[in-house]
C-alpha cells in the first residue's frame, strides 16, 4: 500500500528545542525517519511542528529541504507573523498552520478564527488542531465557519468522539494518527468517521511518537487494511491527505 504520511515529527538539536511540560524529546533527525520508514511505501508526507519547537521555522525549512518536494510542512505561527513571512514559508513547502491546545507552544485558540482565515486567504493553508475532542463544543461554531480544518489524533478521547463526528458531518478532516496515544476504541472511531465522510480520514505514523503510551507500529497500517476494502484503505493511507495538502 502506498502511504502519504500525514503526521510525523523531526527533532533536531541543531535547532532550538524547548522543554514542554517538563518533557524534552529525544533526537529524531531526518535520517532516523527515513531509516525507520525505508521498508514502507511512503510517497510523501507532512512534517508537523511540535510543542517543543514553538515558533522556530529554521528546523522546519532545513528538514523539508532534506526530505524533498514530496513532503510539506505544518507550522506554528504567532499572531504577529507578517504576510511576507507566511508567503516565504509557503514558497518553501509549508502548507498548514497548527494550533496545539493539548501541549501548548502555539498561538492561543482565541486567535484561531482570525489567524486561520488569514493564512487560508493568503496562502491557501488549512489549520490543524491538537485538542481533546471533548472540548470541541466550546469552539464548534468557529470551526464550522472556517474554510479548512483538521483535527489531530482522532480527537484523542472516547468522550469527545460524538462531538468530533458532528464536525466530520460539517466537513472537518481527521488525522488517523497516534493510535498509541488515544483513549478511545480506534477501530470504531475509524469506521464511524469513514461512514460519515470517506474523504475525512488521513493516516500518519506520528513518528517518533513522543510521549505516546506505545509508538507507531506497522500493525497500525495493517489494521486499516483489515477494516476497509482496498479502495477505502488507499483513500485513508494516501489519497485523502495528498489532496488535502495539495501534493
Tell me the per-residue pLDDT of 142-153, one tens digit each, with 9 for 90 and over: 999 999 999 999
Tell me the per-residue pLDDT of 48-57, one tens digit each, with 9 for 90 and over: 999 899 999 9
Single pTM value for the model: 0.95
pLDDT (0 to 100) of residue 170: 96
Q: How far, in Å, CA of 87 to CA of 71, rounded?
A: 17
pLDDT (0 to 100) of residue 105: 61
Mean pLDDT per segment of 10 residues, for the chain of length 247 residues? Answer: 97 93 92 96 97 94 98 96 98 96 76 96 97 95 96 97 98 97 97 98 97 93 97 98 95
Instruction: Find residue 146's DSSP bridge partners.
Output: none
Q: How far, in Å, CA of 186 to CA of 220, rounded?
A: 10
Reduce the secondary structure of the chain to three states and give it as a string: CEEEEEEECCECCCCCCCCECCECCCCECHHHHHHHCCCCEEEEEEEECCHHHCCCCHHHHHHHHHHCCCEEEEECCCCCCCHHHHHHHHHCCEEEEEEECCCCCCCCHHHHHHHHHHHHHHHCCEEEEECCHHHHHHCHHHHHHCCCEEECHHHCECCCHHHHHHHHCCCCEEEECCCCCCECCHHHHHHHHHHHCCCCEEECCCCCCCCCCCCCCHHHHHHHHHHCCHHHHHHHHHHHHHHHCCC
Q: How far, in Å, CA of 92 to CA of 72, rounded?
A: 9
pLDDT (0 to 100) of residue 208: 97
CB count in 10 Å sphere of residue 59: 21
Amino acid at each position: 500500500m502506498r502511504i502519504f504520511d500525514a503526521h510525523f515529527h523531526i527533532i533536531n538539536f541543531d535547532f532550538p528545542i524547548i522543554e514542554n511540560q517538563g518533557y524534552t524529546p529525544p533526537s529524531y533527525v531526518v535520517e532516523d525517519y527515513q531509516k525507520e520508514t525505508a521498508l514502507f511505501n511512503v510517497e510523501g508526507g507532512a512534517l508537523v511542528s511540535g510543542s517543543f519547537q514553538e515558533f522556530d521555522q529554521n528546523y522546519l525549512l532545513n528538514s523539508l529541504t532534506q526530505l524533498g518536494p514530496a513532503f510539506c510542512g505544518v507550522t506554528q505561527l504567532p499572531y504577529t507573523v507578517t504576510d511576507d513571512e507566511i508567503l516565504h514559508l509557503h514558497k518553501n513547502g509549508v502548507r498548514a498552520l497548527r494550533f496545539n491546545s493539548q501541549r501548548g507552544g502555539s498561538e492561543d485558540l482565541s486567535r484561531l478564527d482570525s489567524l486561520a482565515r488569514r493564512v487560508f486567504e493568503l496562502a491557501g493553508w488549512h489549520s490543524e488542531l491538537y485538542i481533546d475532542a471533548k472540548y470541541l463544543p466550546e469552539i464548534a461554531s468557529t470551526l464550522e465557519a472556517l474554510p479548512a480544518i483538521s483535527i489531530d489524533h482522532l480527537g484523542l478521547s472516547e468522550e469527545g468522539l460524538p462531538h468530533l463526528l458532528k464536525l466530520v458531518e460539517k466537513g472537518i478532516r481527521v488525522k488517523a494518527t497516534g493510535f498509541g496515544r488515544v483513549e478511545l476504541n480506534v477501530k470504531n472511531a475509524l469506521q464511524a468517521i469513514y461512514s460519515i465522510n470517506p474523504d475525512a480520514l488521513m493516516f500518519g505514523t506520528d513518528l517518533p511518537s513522543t510521549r505516546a503510551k506505545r509508538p507507531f507500529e506497522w500493525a497500525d497500517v495493517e489494521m486499516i487494511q483489515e477494516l476497509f476494502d482496498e479502495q477505502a484503505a488507499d483513500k485513508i493511507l494516501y489519497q485523502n491527505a495528498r489532496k488535502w495538502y495539495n501534493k
